[in-house]
A = this chain, B = another copy of it.
Amino acid sequence: MNRILITGCNGFVARYFVDYFRANKIVADFMGVDVAESCSMDGISYSQMDLMDLESIKKVLLAYKPTHIAHFASVSSVSQSWERPVESFTNNTNIFLNIVEAVRKLGLSPRILSIGSSEEYGNYPQHALPLKEYYQLRPCNPYAIARVAQEMISKLYADSYDLEVMMTRSFNHIGPGQREIFAIPSFIRQMLDAKAENRTVVSVGNIDIVRDFLDVRDVVDAYYKILFFGRKGDVYNVCRGMGYKLSDIIQQIATIIEFSPELIVDPTKVRPTDNQIIIGDSSKLMTVLNWRPVIPLETSLRQTIAHMAKEG
Q: Taking beta carbons and an 8 Å cutoff, which residues of A are in contact with B?
A: 54, 85-86, 89-90, 93-94, 97-98, 101, 136, 139-142, 145, 148-149, 152-153, 156, 159-161, 272-273
Contact = CB atoms under 8 A, between A and B. Distances in A.
Contacts of A136: 136
A139 to B, nearest CB: 6
A135 to B, nearest CB: 11
A89 B85 contact: no
A64 to B, nearest CB: 21
Contact of A139 (B93, B101, B145, B152): B152
Nearest to A149: B149
A85 B97 CA distance: 8
A273 B155 CA distance: 13
Contacts of A97: 85-86, 89
Contacts of A159: 140, 273
Contacts of A153: 142, 145
A54 B86 contact: yes
11 contacts: A86-B97, A89-B94, A136-B136, A139-B156, A140-B160, A142-B153, A142-B156, A148-B149, A148-B152, A149-B149, A160-B272
A90 B153 CA distance: 13
A94 B85 CA distance: 10
Contacts of A90: 94
